[in-house]
A and B are shown apart, each in its own frame.
Chain A
Amino acid sequence: MKKKIKIGIPRAFLYYRNYILWKTFFEGLGCTLILSPLTNKNIIEDGKKLSVDEACLPSKIYLGHISQLVSKCDYILVPRICNYGRGNRVCMKFNGIYDVVRNLFPDISILDYNIDNLHFKFELTEFVRMGFKVNKNIGKIVYYYLLGKYKEKRQREIFSREQINTLKSNSLKVLIVAHPYVIYDNYLGNNIIKYFKENDIDILYADRLNRKEAVSYAEDFSKTLYFLYSKEIIGSVFCYKEAIDGIIFLSSFPCGPDSLVNELAIRLVDNVPMINIILDESSATSGLMTRLESFVDIIKARRKND
């Protein structure tokens, strides 16, 4: 029997955005996926050793995850994203992360795709190029890419429907504005989600809003914003503004786009309690919990007064 190709996927960065697409695509082409373990202290320590000390926390986590995957699989998937067309750029970290990984781990073989619509590198063509490395059947590659896209869309629809149901409920609601790789991460955002769930507060996730809707809201909010991933999350603030009791801006230290976008949003939104939390490598959570507790007290008191 032919041995299946093992593809390693680091559980960080775009994993939280594109995992369903990757899973459908690679499993359809007859590969097995190997996920890195959930983020833990060791991974962060590994990542810290590998990266420059000023690098942002998610990128350190990413490198830590990759170091977990080395020698466990044949290929590691490291996409490179540049832009999705005019006015839809992404953080520069995604432009350079491929080359950083290539230089830090010279022995591994990397599967990569490069989305750069301004230079005619589209997602489909790049997936075909990438898929060709593991399977020679072009028809299959295109089919599984489209299937993956469809499944991803379905999943997003389910999420946004859930979100709408949450909106209808009468309990306290809090919107968490954070990149998916921050909020869903086991080490970074999990404490916060757990805390709110313990206190019976409903959470709305900024990235689960329908993307088109979010982008159009974001474009109203800021005409010159060109970071696509920021648009997708910041739009929710203006969509849900009326319906929620509080907003949490969650960013990791020193996130480039967030430093500007969140500040502008905080200055523009009024009448909603807001808290700006910046996560860093220190694992002490007591300070964070105190801030969250006082925030919850405020929103509870506001609800009572109304």
Chain B
Amino acid sequence: MTKKISFPHLGYYYIVLEYFFSKATKCEVIVPPNTTKRTIALGAKYSPDFVCVPFKYNLGNYIEALEKGANVLIQAGGGCRYGYYAELEEKILKDLGYDFEFYNLISDNHVSLIKGYKFCKKMNRKINPFKCFYYFINAFLMVIFLDKIERYIRLNMGFEVHKGEFEKLEQEYFDSFKNNGIIKNICLYKEYKKKFKNIEINKDINHLKVMLVGELYSLIDTNSSCHIERKLIKMGIEVHRDTDLTYLMITKRFKLRRMIKRGKKYIKYHLGADASGSVVKSLESSKNGFDGILHLKSFGCTPEISAMSILSKISQKYGIPILYFSFDAEDNEVCVDTRLEAFYDMIKRKGRK
């Protein structure tokens, strides 16, 4: 039986995961179809009632991938409940009658590199550890480059002179990221960075700035949050968001303790998952002249609920508007749009004063 690997979606990172697993294990990789209404409907149908939304999306992705013919599934998410998804997902899918192998790359709530290597070894017995390491480093760099470009896009896309240029170039950039070596990736990154910088933008001095904070899945996977980020950008707002894989995998480790220290007026201990980050970033952005904060989370996210009660205090003290969104399986996009527009009008009027 040939092995076909699949994994749940997480924003645009499927590019990196596809590259890494196809190179390291030499197996076929099936990227699950793009997340649609059907995905979430499938996921919600078989999930427990009040589990958080990422579970439902992941389950939907798995089912669609299995329908496409995948037979090896991977789960690798950590933090809060996310680390415990794997076992229940496996059980639910087995009960549905699918035939597959399930690999859980998490140990004690964190993604474990050793388990990842063992998984690759099981898929490809002839694996060369050095080559595997090389692919890993390359995948790592890809994540960093993708995030850096995305960060630039978020800050500047709202002010482009000719509409659609950024999106076109972004798609081109994503497409170029396939089967390259490290050196070519670095060259490509530099080349595209120049190209992005050359796009004509018209930035006002008094442009609106908005900070996006909240839970990682809603922030990174824009499908689950009704593409709020792009909607804000299209309104002509500079969108700041720190939460991406680079932050979660690397910088959070070094920053967390200092962050808690900076926010010691509001938090003394780490609140769990990204909640401390949400609090401290909102605190800093309200001091640094942002016009508003958007707090996104999936329904029932425990750490972010703790953060929300603290955020409202910050909002009161600094007079910064915070808009809370909570996403569940059945979301009405029109409702989200209306709230966003009202928020936009409000911060615009406030900014003019």
Interface residues of A in 101-116 (CB under 8 A from B): 102-104, 114
Residue of A55, A95, A103, A260 near B81 (CB, 8 A) is A260
Question: B83 touches which one: A82, A223, A226, A261 (CB < 8 A)?
Answer: A226
Contact between chains at A52 and B269 (CB < 8 Å): no
B269 and A95 form a contact (CB under 8 A): yes
Say whether B306 contacts A54, CB under 8 Å: no
Tell me whether A87 is interfacial, beta carbon within 8 Å: yes
Min distance, Cβ B320 to any Cβ of chain A, angstroms: 16
Contact between A95 and B85, CB atoms less than 8 A apart: no
- Residues of A in contact (CB 8 Å), total 44
* A205–chain B nearest beta-carbon distance, Å: 23
Check: B109 CB closer than 8 A to any chain A CB.
yes
Query: Is the pair B300, A54 in contact by a Cβ cutoff of 8 Å?
Result: yes
In the complex, are the beta carbons of B309 and A52 less than 8 A apart? yes
Task: State whether the Cβ of A26 lies closer than 8 Å to any Cβ in chain B.
Answer: no
Q: How far is the CA of A59 from the CA of B334 in the complex (A)?
A: 32
Query: What are the interface flags for A230-262 relative to B under an 8 Å C-beta threshold, 1 for contact and 0 otherwise?
Result: 000000000000000000000001111101111
Query: What 0/1 pattern do residues 29 to 69 of B give for CB contact below 8 A with A?
Result: 00000000000000000001111100100000000000000
Pick the contact of A224: B84, B273, B302 (CB < 8 A).
B84
Q: How far is the CB of A278 from chain B (nearest CB, A)?
A: 7
Instruction: Check A54 against B313 for contact (C-beta < 8 Å).
Output: no
Taking the complex as formed, is B266 at the interface, i.e. its CB lies under 8 A from any CB of chain A?
A: yes
- The residue on A at minimum CB distance from B275 is A96
Q: How far is the CA of A104 from the CA of B83 in the complex (A)?
A: 30
Chain B residue numbers with a CB within 8 Å of A97 are 306
Asked whether A224 lies within 8 Å of B306 as measured between CB atoms, the reply is: no
Residues of A within 8 A of B144 (CB): none
Asked whether B305 lies within 8 Å of A225 as measured between CB atoms, the reply is: no
Q: CB-nearest residue of chain B relative to A263? A: B48
B106 within 8 A of A: yes
Which residues of A line the B interface, CB within 8 A? 50-52, 54-56, 80, 82, 86-87, 89, 91-93, 95-100, 102-104, 114, 222-227, 253-257, 259-264, 267-268, 278
Further pairs besides A82-B269, A268-B91: 14, Cβ < 8 Å:
A80-B269, A91-B302, A96-B269, A224-B87, A226-B83, A226-B84, A226-B108, A226-B109, A254-B50, A256-B52, A257-B81, A259-B48, A259-B49, A260-B84
